[in-house]
């Protein structure tokens, strides 16, 4: 948690002034019982009305001073804590953007989103409350004890016993309940999971007539939850009565011993009232402390989670790489004995892959999901680093490129058609902010997206809502295809990205790519033979290895795996026509 405090460094002044003014306010608060004592001991005893009014005035003054100090403190605390949150957010965002694919894989995108939002918010309010209360509560407790000391040394003993007892009871109850509440949280998550499964699995549950079992399971978890809640409730229900008992027993003791002290004249009646007041102040301060502890626990949990993300270092970096000059005679993409294993996995996802792709060629990569097709193409923009071997683009190892230069050469159409909020034009200009409308329209036509975009009321300026919900899956996919062709890419990778298209559109798209992409090296990853059978070169992947490279007819005659796929997907007639 303390590691995160470095984000307060631009708010040093605020982080000091905040708590400081809180302490000054606490001093004023501690002074009030003293003034009250004066009223009783001096004002009333001497029947001095003027004195009483003067003291009353002082009390009002103390209140005003306290209020202004408090407001000052709140302001600086707010400024510091929000500044903290903002700086932390910026830094975490920057850090996350640097992570490479293998880190994103292992942490998970949704986790990163939670860290950026909920966890930072928690940490921010934690810092705020910390700045305001951390020093104040102990200060009031200690201050009250010291004030008591000025009245009566002997009676202070009661304070010295009561305050630690109170602190202990509060601490003990909290240390018993906090883990229980965590447990409750987990059980609640299980009810959440069961509910969500009951909805997503409604068809299967009904098909197997398992409703009653699902209900029984839910009832059991729910019962468990209730038992846990009652158990935790039993402990936390002790907080108020126990603190009440301690404080009031202490007050009773004050009265008992105080009475004797008044009798011998070592303290006055006003002192007595003031002492009782201090005892109550201690209780309030410690209860505020309890709230603080709850917040700190939450904050700490968030801080640990945030730090965990900071601790993950990007495994692929382009530090120290400078602009690479392209070698025009070299092939566009070359794999030299590439092997690759995902981190944490012992199995090799790719082993000993070698192939060469020349400029302007269209290459199909086919194979099953586990076969390593996507892994191959993820190595070209260097989303992952190879375990051994080399990947070369334009004759230079991808490890030597700055990311920007390398990735700008490559237009990617990912499997998931991701679009961001904004206009269609904004979404198409990702690769090139200065792309002209002519260029955009050309790409839209190529991607078979021109017609539907033009049918939109605002055309290119049509707003895309979040997740592109106002477009169909096929439309989204076509836009992502168009996007990859804008900004003159040298290499375009279509990663199984025609799955949402109907067959006729898919066919037109393939034809357009074949006819209109001269000079661009195109990779088409697919599971469908029909998508790739007419390309220049087909790479057949099987179980992380290349099991054949060649044209459709060559492979059909020489590559077992390819033949197997063909036979399962093509009609007899088409099979007969091969060759």
Site for another protein in 127-156 (CB under 8 A): 128, 132
Nearest to 137 by CA among 2, 291, 266, 14: 291
Q: Compute φ and ψ for 410, nearest 5 degrees.
A: -115, 125
The reply on whether position 388 binds another protein by CB under 8 A is no
Nearest to 509 by CA among 519, 520, 524: 524
Pattern 419-458, binding to another protein, x per CB under 8 A?
-xx--------xx-x-------------------------
Query: Which of the ranges 38-46, 298-306, 327-335, 446-454 carries the binding residues for another protein, by CB under 8 A?
Result: 38-46
* Cα R_g (the chain), whole angstroms: 36
Of 461 and 574, the one with the shorter C-beta distance to another protein is: 574
Of 336 and 462, the one with the shorter C-beta distance to another protein is: 462
Q: Which residues contact 374 (CB under 8 A, 6 or more apart)?
A: 415, 495, 496, 525
Residue 264, helix vs strand vs coil: helix
Q: How far is the CB of 213 from another protein (least distance, A)?
A: 7
CA dihedral 331, 335, 337, 343 (to 10 degrees): 160
Query: Which of the ranges 147-155, 160-168, 212-220, 436-444 carries the binding residues for another protein, by CB under 8 A?
Result: 212-220
The reply on whether position 291 binds another protein by CB under 8 A is no
Q: Which residues contact 194 (CB under 8 A, 6 or more apart)?
A: 214, 217, 218, 221
Of 14 and 334, the one with the shorter C-beta distance to another protein is: 14
> Cβ distance 32 to 58 under 8 Å?
no
The reply on whether position 393 binds another protein by CB under 8 A is no
Query: Quick one: which of 23, 44, 296, 312 contacts another protein (CB under 8 A)?
Result: 44
Query: Which of the ranges 33-41, 172-180, 323-331, 552-560 carries the binding residues for another protein, by CB under 8 A?
Result: 33-41
d(CA 459, CA 453): 5
The reply on whether position 476 binds another protein by CB under 8 A is no
What is the footprint of another protein within residues 77-136 (CB under 8 A)?
77-79, 81-83, 85-86, 89-90, 93-94, 96-101, 104, 109-110, 112-113, 116-117, 121, 124, 128, 132
The reply on whether position 5 binds another protein by CB under 8 A is no
Query: Quick one: which of 10, 20, 74, 135 contacts another protein (CB under 8 A)?
Result: 74
What is the footprint of another protein within residues 50-69 (CB under 8 A)?
52-53, 55-56, 59-60, 62-64, 66-67
Of 47 and 311, the one with the shorter C-beta distance to another protein is: 47
The reply on whether position 395 binds another protein by CB under 8 A is no
Size of the site for another protein (CB under 8 A): 162
Of 200 and 388, the one with the shorter C-beta distance to another protein is: 200
d(CA 6, CA 2): 8
CB atoms within 10 A of CB 331: 17
What is the footprint of another protein within residues 327-386 (CB under 8 A)?
367-371, 381, 383
Residues belonging to the chain: 579
What is the footprint of another protein within residues 481-520 (CB under 8 A)?
483, 496, 499-500, 502-504, 507, 510-511
Query: Quick one: which of 23, 145, 169, 194 contacts another protein (CB under 8 A)?
Result: 194
CA dihedral 387, 389, 395, 398 (to 10 degrees): 10
**Burial bucket for residue 444 (CB in 10 Å: 0-12, 13-18, 19+):** buried
Nearest to 460 by CA among 438, 481, 493: 438
What is the footprint of another protein within residues 549-578 (CB under 8 A)?
564-565, 568-571, 573-574
Of 311 and 504, the one with the shorter C-beta distance to another protein is: 504
Q: How far is the CB of 433 from another protein (least distance, A)?
A: 8
H helices of 265-320, in order, are 269-311
Q: How far apart are the first and last CA of the chain?
A: 68
DSSP state of 469: T
The reply on whether position 468 binds another protein by CB under 8 A is no
């Amino acid at each position: 948690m303390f590691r995160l405090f470095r984000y307060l460094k631009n708010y040093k002044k605020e982080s000091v002034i905040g708590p400081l003014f809180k302490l000054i306010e606490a001093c004023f608060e501690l002074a009030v019982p003293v003034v009250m004592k004066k009223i009783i001991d001096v004002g009333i005893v001497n029947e001095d009305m003027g004195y009483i009014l003067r003291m009353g005035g002082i009390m009002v003054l103390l209140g005003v001073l306290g209020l202004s100090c408090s407001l000052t403190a709140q302001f600086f605390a707010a400024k510091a804590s929000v500044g903290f949150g903002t700086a932390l957010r910026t830094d975490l965002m920057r850090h996350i953007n640097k992570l490479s694919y293998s880190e994103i894989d292992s942490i998970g995108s949704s986790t990163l989103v939670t860290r950026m939002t909920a966890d930072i918010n928690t940490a921010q309010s934690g810092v705020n409350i910390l700045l305001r209360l951390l020093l104040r509560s102990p200060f009031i407790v200690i201050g009250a004890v010291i004030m008591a000391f000025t009245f009566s040394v002997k009676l202070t003993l009661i304070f010295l016993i009561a305050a630690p007892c109170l602190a202990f009871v509060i601490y003990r109850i909290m240390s018993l309940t906090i883990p229980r509440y965590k447990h409750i949280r987990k059980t609640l998550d299980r009810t959440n999971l069961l509910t969500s499964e009951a909805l997503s699995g409604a068809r299967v549950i009904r098909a197997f007539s398992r409703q009653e079992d699902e209900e029984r399971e839910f009832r059991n978890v729910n019962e468990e939850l209730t038992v846990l809640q009652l158990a935790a409730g039993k402990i936390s229900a002790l907080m108020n009565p126990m603190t009440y008992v301690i404080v009031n027993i202490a007050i009773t003791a004050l009265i008992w011993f105080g009475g004797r002290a008044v009798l011998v004249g070592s303290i006055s009646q006003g002192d007595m009232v003031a002492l009782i007041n201090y005892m109550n102040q201690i209780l309030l301060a410690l209860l505020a402390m309890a709230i603080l502890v709850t917040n700190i626990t939450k904050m700490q949990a968030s801080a640990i989670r945030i730090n965990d993300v900071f601790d993950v270092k990007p495994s692929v970096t382009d530090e120290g790489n400078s602009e690479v000059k392209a070698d025009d005679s070299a092939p566009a993409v070359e794999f030299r004995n590439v092997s690759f294993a995902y981190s944490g996995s012992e199995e090799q996802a790719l082993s000993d892959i070698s192939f060469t792709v020349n400029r302007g060629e269209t290459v199909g990569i086919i194979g099953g999901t586990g076969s390593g097709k996507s892994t191959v193409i993820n190595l070209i923009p260097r989303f992952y680093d190879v375990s051994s071997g080399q990947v070369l683009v334009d004759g230079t190892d991808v490890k030597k490129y700055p990311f920007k230069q390398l990735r700008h050469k490559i237009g990617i159409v990912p499997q998931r058609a991701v679009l961001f909020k904004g206009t269609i034009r904004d979404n198409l200009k990702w690769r090139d902010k200065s792309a002209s409308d002519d260029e955009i329209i050309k790409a839209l036509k190529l991607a078979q997206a021109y017609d539907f975009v033009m049918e939109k009321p605002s055309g290119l300026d049509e707003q895309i809502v979040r997740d592109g919900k106002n477009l169909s899956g096929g439309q989204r996919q076509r836009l992502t295809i168009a996007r990859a062709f804008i900004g003159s890419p040298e290499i375009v990778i279509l990663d199984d990205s025609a799955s949402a298209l109907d067959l006729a559109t898919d066919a037109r798209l393939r034809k357009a790519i074949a006819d209109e992409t001269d000079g661009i090296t195109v990779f088409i990853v697919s599971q469908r033979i029909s998508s790739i059978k007419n390309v220049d070169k087909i790479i057949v992947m099987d179980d992380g290895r290349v099991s054949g490279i060649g044209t459709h007819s060559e492979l059909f005659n020489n590559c077992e795996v390819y033949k197997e796929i063909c036979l399962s997907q093509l009609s007899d007639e088409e099979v007969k026509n091969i060759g």
